Amino acid sequence: MYAIEEVGMEWMDVAKEIGHGLSPAFRSRFVATAVAKRQPDKEFQAAARAALNTEAP
């Protein structure tokens, strides 16, 4: 989670400097951290649903 937040903040700083968010230097890093975050997000959502019993009929 920290990695995606960190790269997002750095990307925002660069985007402000260049006037848009299309920075090739950050694209690969951003995509890699976003992909790495998917599975932990899914696991968290499943645990939250189980804890809140929202999957029961």
- Give me the phi and psi of 37, to 5 degrees please: -85, -15
- Give me the phi and psi of 10, to 5 degrees please: -65, -40
The model's pLDDT over 13-54, given as tens digits with 9 standing for 90+, comes to 887 887 776 677 777 887 888 898 899 999 999 999 999 998
Token pair recorded at residue 40? 């932990």
Structure confidence at residue 12 as a pLDDT band (50, 70, 90): confident
Q: What is the pTM of this model?
A: 0.53
Asked if residue 57 has pLDDT above 70, the reply is: no
What's residue 52's pLDDT? 92
How far is 57 from 43, CA to CA, in rounded Å? 21
Q: Which amino acid is at 20?
A: H
Asked if residue 5 has pLDDT above 90, the reply is: no
